[in-house]
Amino acid sequence: MSLDTFAQQDFRRLAALSLEDSDSRTARFDVDGLPLVVDAHAPGILRLRLGQSTLPDYGLLAITEPCGSLQVQPEGEGWRVVSGDLALHLTGSPLSLSLIHKGRTVLSSITDQHFRGRVRLPAFGVCDREPRRWCVSLALASETAIYGFGEKFGRLDKRGQLIRGRTEDALGVNTELSYKNIPFCWSPDGWGLLAHTPGIVRHGAGYAQWSHRTHVTEVEDEALDLFLLAGEPAEILERQSALTGRPAMPPLWSYGMWLSRAYYQVPQEATDAAKEVRRRRIPCDVITIDGRAAWEVRTRFAFEWDPARYDNAKRILGELRVQNLKVCVWEYPYVSIHNPLFRTLESKGWLLKRADGSAYVFDWVKDPTDDPFGKVLTPLPPSGALDFTHPDAAKFWGDSHDKLFDDGIDVIKSDFGEQVEDDMVAANGETGRRLHNVYSLLYNRCVFDATQRYNDRHGRGPAMVWGRDGFIGSQRYPVQWGGDPQSDWEGMAASIRGGLCYGLSGVPYHATDVGGFYGAEQPSAELYLRWTANAIFSSHFRYHGIGKREPWAFGEAAEAIARRLLEFRYRLIPYIVGAAEQAAKTGLPLMRAMPLAYPHDRAARAFELQYLFGDALLVAPITRPGGSVEVWFPAGDTWHDLETGERIVGGQARVITRTLEQLPVWAREGHVLCLGRAVQHTGEMDLANPVEEARLFGLPRHAPCVMNTCVKAGCDGEVSWIEGLKRGQLRLSPGLAAREAPGGRVLIDSAR
């Protein structure tokens, strides 16, 4: 019985708890005949496994074995498991827990009692047996906020919401459905929780229909496998990142502008756009050949160019590359029944199957009267889905990319991945229901690894994908973009929240379709430019949508403003790469929402659209017509307006107005902003001396966020600059003065 139709007597309430044995890393208990294993998995992390599972785990974890130490002590009617400054108190009758960090209880089992005296939901219970569902209920204080769960487009604080962790083709950013679901959440109260499962997870985050004072995690899997984390939010994200895999560093060129639309109908349109972006001197690094541009729709996808348009793909792609552009091409992991490759894959058993062993044919149109893509996009053919659990199938798919790379492709746009049906059967014996969420991770892992193998053989540097879906561990295979937003102001705002929420879930990189993907009307020039200005401060930047998205399509004045904004984006790349290097070490996202950046400033947490971008910049996106935005300047810091130079003491809100040319961004006092020179593409950057200008805001107290850590700063105000950085390139905020010091240094003094 599901939680929606809960009746107390229908749960298996776990009660009797007894210790079986323990060693220096693991404690084993018995709970009503079910094994309960507690591991000291890593510093600040405890793992609880209830029940036994023989099903695949798909390599979701980077740390697979416990590496901490623990002691088990009797306490009252239960047991206390201690690992460093973290302790877990377990009791029976019924089974319940308390998590103690540095002597403070940060999390405990449900306290919501029914009128009849029993807790309203069990602390631990088995809700259903087929499929097996587990319930874990944890108490919430009235002020407790909860963040995470993947890329979600509504409010960042999920308190009061029911979140269903099932990857979907959301067809927009306007509902709770999302392309990237991660069963991980945390609270500024000092705890985090990760459900280690590919299965479906529902989270009632103080969901009033269940209990507004309880966080309920409902896990569908053979066994329950939970990680409990403790610490400050940044520490929790760092620990979760170590647990599920540190982020890979994308290539340098990926931080430039990506030009795309759905779609360049013939190659000439793409080559014309490439020439125009250079003629008009608009900085750009990548151009995308989208699905209907590259492949014949009826027979896709089979790594075959549409012969009617791409009769000589290598020559055509060469015309794009001669413009100093990298080339991205679209794919999805489905093969049309009209392509001979379908029969080949079917005969080898390399497609997901039906229960009778035949290839499962996925039909996109479930109801002939309700095509999900309507008249907006071309109807998609019935197709088979590649079975990435079959090693030979995955190898074939990965190796097949080589011919695309040989033709001149640099990166794959790995689209879709949500179409695994519950009754599909995989080669490893899994049902589609359990495979559904993890399928997109297997798909993107396959494409990422294929790209990296090719790059390693040809000296092309780090790999990446441009993927839509995400799951536990997706940060290892960057990057993901935010689906298909509506081309209006709320579509832009939801896209920003989606990126921030994804960052709060442990994935540091994110992009959106700048300008919006679809809509009854094309975006206005004002919306287009505000979206551009906001997306300057995201890890990756791509124009994309149905219709023209090139800056010159919005008029001469808009083009000029977009050019200036993009020039600043390129000047910002040394700073952005520095933040990405930090992310690769710590898991901290580049876009840091207020709950992460200022977790104990409750006023700041209420401003859910503004964020820190890296260490030094506060961004307050303008998401309404007219150019005004209310900004909260967090207490404890002082802020410098990048446009006006005004110094603003934190702990106050202001309504700020910006023209279309101006950026809604402020620098944090004590930090250094390192900017490169304006270039047309990253190939023009001087990597030996990437910083052209350094802006100091107050006396420098923090090491600059900059690529290759090529600039160092100390708290004594001394700054040592890389070779070639000239005195004239050092800009100081008002009240500071600079003078030369021995050793090629510059000494910063207060002029007051």
Query: Each residue of 74-83: pLDDT tens digit?
Result: 999 899 999 9
Q: Please report, for residues 702, 719, 720, the alpha-carbon distance to residue 743 in angstroms, rounded to integers and kept in the order given.
A: 21, 11, 9
Residues in a beta bridge with 385: 334
Q: Please report, for residues 67, 80, 224, the alpha-carbon distance to residue 38 in angstroms, rounded to integers and kept in the order given.
A: 13, 11, 12
Mean pLDDT for the chain?
A: 93
Distance CA 166, CA 272 (A): 41
Distance CA 24, CA 741 (A): 55
Count other Cβ atoms within 10 Å, centred on residue 744.
10
Average pLDDT rounded to a whole number, residues 274-284: 98
Count other Cβ atoms within 10 Å, centred on residue 624.
13
Per the model's pLDDT, the better-predicted residue between 152 and 483 turns out to be: 152
Token representation of residue 429: 């014996």
DSSP letter, residue 299: G
Q: What pLDDT score was predicted for residue 751?
A: 54
The answer on pLDDT for 20 being more than 50 is yes
How sure is the predictor about 115, in pLDDT bands with cuts at 50, 70 and 90? Answer: confident
How sure is the predictor about 4, in pLDDT bands with cuts at 50, 70 and 90? Answer: low
Which of 311-320, 369-378, 566-575 has the least mean pLDDT? 369-378
Q: What pLDDT score was predicted for residue 120?
A: 87
Q: What pLDDT score was predicted for residue 731?
A: 74
The answer on pLDDT for 713 being more than 50 is no
Distance CA 752, CA 743 (A): 26
- Count Cα atoms within 13 angstroms, Cβ side, for 670: 10
Q: How do beta strands 672-675 and 665-668 pair? A: unpaired
Average pLDDT rounded to a whole number, residues 375-381: 78
The answer on pLDDT for 710 being more than 70 is no
Per the model's pLDDT, the better-predicted residue between 401 and 739 turns out to be: 401
**CB-based burial label for 357 (10 Å; 0-12, 13-18, 19+):** exposed
- Give the tens place of pLDDT for each residue, 316-337: 999 999 999 999 999 999 999 9
Distance CA 207, CA 190 (A): 20
Q: What 3-state DSSP class applies to 680?
A: coil
Residues in a beta bridge with 215: 138, 205
Average pLDDT rounded to a whole number, residues 425-443: 98
The answer on pLDDT for 193 being more than 90 is yes
433 and 422 in contact (C-beta within 8 Å)?
A: yes
Q: What pLDDT score was predicted for residue 712?
A: 43
Q: What pLDDT score was predicted for residue 9?
A: 41
- Give the tens place of pLDDT for each residue, 526-549: 999 999 999 999 999 999 999 999
Bond preceding residue 301 cis, omega within 30 of 0: yes
Give the percent of the chain with pLDDT over 70.
93
**CB-based burial label for 391 (10 Å; 0-12, 13-18, 19+):** exposed
Q: What pLDDT score was predicted for residue 704?
A: 87
68 and 25 in contact (C-beta within 8 Å)?
A: yes
Average pLDDT rounded to a whole number, residues 417-444: 97
Crossing angle for the helix pair 556-571 and 573-586, nearest 10 degrees? 50
Q: CB under 8 Å to 167, separation ≥6 — which residues?
A: 178, 179, 180, 181, 417, 418, 436, 437, 439, 440, 469, 471
Token representation of residue 702: 């923090």
Q: Where do the DSSP E strands lie in 92-176?
A: 96-101, 104-108, 124-129, 132-139, 147-150, 161-165
The closest alpha carbon to 226, from 349, 124, 375, 127, belongs to 124
The answer on pLDDT for 728 being more than 70 is no
722 and 693 in contact (C-beta within 8 Å)?
A: no
Q: What pLDDT score was predicted for residue 351?
A: 98
226 and 194 in contact (C-beta within 8 Å)?
A: yes
Token representation of residue 115: 């009128």
Average pLDDT rounded to a whole number, residues 714-736: 53
The answer on pLDDT for 642 being more than 90 is yes
**CB-based burial label for 490 (10 Å; 0-12, 13-18, 19+):** middle
The closest alpha carbon to 714, from 747, 667, 668, 673, belongs to 747
Give the percent of the chain with pLDDT over 90.
84
Token representation of residue 348: 């080898």
Q: What pLDDT score was predicted for residue 734?
A: 76
Distance CA 515, CA 532 (A): 8
Distance CA 519, CA 173 (A): 12
Q: Please report, for residues 76, 416, 500, 578, the alpha-carbon distance to residue 574 in angstroms, rounded to integers and kept in the order given.
A: 56, 32, 22, 6
Q: What pLDDT score was predicted for residue 743?
A: 55
437 and 200 in contact (C-beta within 8 Å)?
A: yes
The closest alpha carbon to 302, from 387, 397, 392, belongs to 397
Q: CB under 8 Å to 466, separation ≥6 — which residues?
A: 258, 288, 328, 411, 412, 413, 414, 479, 480, 481, 542
The answer on pLDDT for 695 being more than 60 is yes
Q: What pLDDT score was predicted for residue 507?
A: 98
Per the model's pLDDT, the better-predicted residue between 289 and 700 turns out to be: 289
Distance CA 155, CA 375 (A): 31
Q: How do beta strands 214-220 and 132-139 pair? A: antiparallel
How sure is the predictor about 14, in pLDDT bands with cuts at 50, 70 and 90? Answer: confident
Q: What pLDDT score was predicted for residue 309?
A: 96
The answer on pLDDT for 7 being more than 80 is no
Q: What angle do CA 628, 488, 622 make, to 5 degrees?
A: 20
Q: Where do the DSSP E strands lie in 420-472?
A: none
The answer on pLDDT for 716 being more than 60 is no
